[in-house]
Amino acid sequence: MTTATLSTPPDPYRLLLESITDYGIYMLSPDGRVSSWNAGAKRFKGYSEQEILGQNYAVFFTPEDLASGLPARALAEAADKGRYETQGWRIRKDGTRFWVHAVIDPIRDAGGNLMGFAKITRDLTERREAELELYHSQEMFKRLVLGVTDYALYMLSPEGIVTNWNLGAERIKGYRPEEIVGHHFSQFYTPDDRAKGRPAQALEVARTVGRFEKEGWRVRKDGTQFFAHVIIDAIRDPDGTLIGYAKITRDITERMEAQRQLEVAREQLLQSQKMEAIGQLTGGVAHDFNNLLMVIMSSLELMQKRMPQDTQLRKLLANAQLGAERGAALTRSMLAFARRQQMKIVPVDVSTLVRSMRDMLAGSLGASIEIEIDIPPGLPLALSDPNQLAIAVLNLAVNARDAMPGGGIIRIEADAKPGLVDDKSDASNKFVRLRVIDSGEGMDGETLAKAAEPFFTTKGVGKGTGLGLSMVHGIAEQSGGRLLLRSVQGSGTTAEIWLPVAAPTGENEQPNIIPAAVEPINARRRLKVLAVDDDFLVLLNTSSMLEDLGHSVVEATSAEEAVKALGREQFDLIITDHSMPRTTGSQLASMVHESRPEQPIIIATGYAELPEGGADHLPRLSKPFSQAELDRAIWGVIS
């Protein structure tokens, strides 16, 4: 008879524990010795079952934990409280460390006696490294945000309360973190914006749209305002619940000011280009008009000599001459604006000039205007043409009178200014500032901006040419200075002529302008004159005046014709227009002086500037000129 052997079936729980590899699950004796060991424990602690069974589990702890008695405390706490749970570093068999999540549970029998401990360990090293990396990344980001100084970066609660504060916010807005965290961000807004509910509107846009962006004025802690570019982004959790706002503020005050200055500079450039174009047009028209006036005035003058003694005819002729003179005054104003007015720049005693004009001003302005002059003694001499400067002062005084229809006081002041005429001037320049001040109607901004433009007037049709201020502007510019106008509507106007202080004697040399009062020398001597002008009408009248004075005249309509005439015969005098095509009068003079350096030559021109030909040293005769002026000019150069 055969005896059958019965085999014990395997324990399914034991099979389950031994197959788990992600957790180390093993038993400890009451004193902490390892009494069982599964595959998971072997995998991440490195010990085989034969190597570890019977050893105290303290072998897994770091030297620091062993020194602090942690293994025994962990078992005591598990026995006392029924469970011990922790995370920390442990040691593998090869000495490397790994981060674990450990749970120790006591095992008791039915009578409550401690039989040992169940220990479960999970390797969390990868997760720990990820957490540490995330922590370091968050710390770096936090330091980055807190360290930014060019931008204010901070968080707001859903209600708009400031919850943190970086260095940029402190620098831009002036608050330290302890002064602003916990306060509502609306205090950065201007009172007007707060009254209009702008802070709440910004949060609402960010909440509904996700982002709010705008530029506007904000207020610092000290009450000063700055122009800011602001962005508010809504922050939501994974469920979409609003948890607050991220706010970025940048101070763009300097950029805005730079942009404003750029716009001002662009506007000034456009205005300068416009005025230059108008000046060129005005100067060209005035030059051509001068030629026409030359013909008319000289013809009228010659007619007056030959006209019969008819009172009515002579009256009409006188009216015609007066009209021509007014036309000549108009062209002088146009040329002054275009800076082509012939001027003799000399040192001028502004005080003496203005005081000498008092009686003339009183007679011109009327009894309703009182004139006050306040010019201190010892004022330095200024550079200008005294006759043109007197005309400028008269123009300004007439404008001041017209601004006070009910009468009033016109103050004329002058002082020395070491400052600037404008931002482009050298700060070391010295100026004499002549001011004409009225208490009249004043001008608004738009009128003030156009006041010195040619042909602009507020006096109504037929009451002004619009060239008064533009003429003063031209005289000041041609003198090396500026005209500045300051006015407030309803509070009067101040017109300032800035003139450079005269240099020591000898440094302000000017072209040789024909003297205005030179007595004729040897007036009966008959001269042979070469008259050169490309305008036939002007040439005809110049020749007629010369012949009427008793001189012999040869005419040339160009520099080329003049050279040919000079090749045929000698002349006592050459009178040539400057502005001629191909070859100018000054170029002609240079050509002549190469072979005849002693040849007397007079340049007839309406311009002060002779840019070509190098003939600035030659005597000039200003167009339109009378026969008397022509005669004085001739005997001013002929000895």
Residue pair 468/495 in contact by the 8 Å Cβ criterion = no
Are residues 609 and 474 located together in one domain of the fold? Answer: no
243 three-state secondary structure = strand
The CATH number for 449's domain is 3.30.565.10
Least reliable range by pLDDT among 237-246, 317-326, 347-356, 404-413: 317-326
Find the mean pLDDT for residues 250-276: 77
User: For the residues of 550-596, what is the DSSP string, one character each?
Assistant: T-EEEEESSHHHHHHHHHH---SEEEEES--SSS-HHHHHHHHHHH-
The pTM assigned to this predicted structure is 0.39
Are residues 108 and 198 located together in one domain of the fold? Answer: no
Q: What is the band of 463 on the pLDDT scale with cuts at 50, 70, 90?
A: very low
- Among residues 484, 500, 516, the one where a domain terminates is 500
Q: In this predicted structure, what is the pLDDT of residue 474?
A: 75
Least reliable range by pLDDT among 207-216, 373-382, 476-485: 476-485
Least reliable range by pLDDT among 154-158, 256-260, 559-563: 256-260
Comparing 190 with 356, which gets the higher pLDDT?
190
Q: In this predicted structure, what is the pLDDT of residue 188?
A: 94
- 240 domain residue, yes or no: yes
Closest CA to 453 of 279, 194, 637: 279
* R_g of the chain computed on alpha carbons: 51
Q: What is the band of 61 on the pLDDT scale with cuts at 50, 70, 90?
A: very high
- Among residues 90, 125, 160, the one where a domain terminates is 125
The CATH number for 625's domain is 3.40.50.2300
Most confident of 284-288, 500-504, 519-523: 500-504
- 506 domain residue, yes or no: no
Are residues 168 and 104 located together in one domain of the fold? Answer: no
Locus of tokens 């005084």: 397
Find the mean pLDDT for residues 270-294: 62
564 three-state secondary structure = helix
The CATH number for 171's domain is 3.30.450.20
Q: What is the band of 283 on the pLDDT scale with cuts at 50, 70, 90?
A: low
Tokens of 546: 């010369």
Q: What gap in Å lies between CA 606 and CA 624, rounded to an integer?
A: 7
Are residues 395 and 496 located together in one domain of the fold? Answer: yes
C-alpha angle with apex 134: 131 to 138, nearest 5 degrees? 135
Secondary structure in 3-state letters for 229-268: EEEEEEEECCCCCEEEEEEEEEECHHHHHHHHHHHHHHHH
- 621 domain residue, yes or no: yes
Are residues 368 and 450 located together in one domain of the fold? Answer: yes
Q: Which amino acid is at 58?
A: A
Instruction: Tell me the residue range of the domain where 84 lies.
Output: 12-125
Are residues 220 and 365 located together in one domain of the fold? Answer: no
Are residues 98 and 211 located together in one domain of the fold? Answer: no
* Cis amide leading into 624 (omega within 30): yes
Q: In this predicted structure, what is the pLDDT of residue 140?
A: 62
Residue pair 547/553 in contact by the 8 Å Cβ criterion = yes
Secondary structure in 3-state letters for 26-91: EEECCCCEECCCCHHHHHHHCCCHHHHCCCEHHHHECHHHHHCCHHHHHHHHHHHHCCEEEEEEEE
Q: Please provide the average confidence, as pLDDT, over all residues in the chain.
A: 80
Q: In this predicted structure, what is the pLDDT of residue 460?
A: 45
**Which are the contacts of 368, defined by CB distance < 8 A and separation ≥ 6?**
404, 406, 407, 408
Comparing 470 with 460, which gets the higher pLDDT?
470
Are residues 27 and 114 located together in one domain of the fold? Answer: yes
Are residues 474 and 557 located together in one domain of the fold? Answer: no
Closest CA to 206 of 186, 236, 182, 165: 236
Are residues 39 and 110 located together in one domain of the fold? Answer: yes
Residue pair 155/246 in contact by the 8 Å Cβ criterion = yes
Model confidence pLDDT, tens digit, residues 89-98: 999 999 999 9
Query: What's the gap between Cα 293 and its chain centre?
Result: 46
Q: How many domains does the chain have?
A: 4
Are residues 385 and 468 located together in one domain of the fold? Answer: yes
Least reliable range by pLDDT among 471-485, 568-582, 604-618: 604-618
Element of type H or E holding 358: helix 358-365
- Angle of the 468-478 helix axis to the 311-337 helix axis, nearest 10: 60
Q: In this predicted structure, what is the pLDDT of residue 468?
A: 56
Comparing 391 with 176, which gets the higher pLDDT?
176
Q: What is the band of 340 on the pLDDT scale with cuts at 50, 70, 90?
A: low
Are residues 120 and 154 located together in one domain of the fold? Answer: no
Q: In this predicted structure, what is the pLDDT of residue 568?
A: 92
Residue pair 454/334 in contact by the 8 Å Cβ criterion = yes
Locus of tokens 């025994």: 72
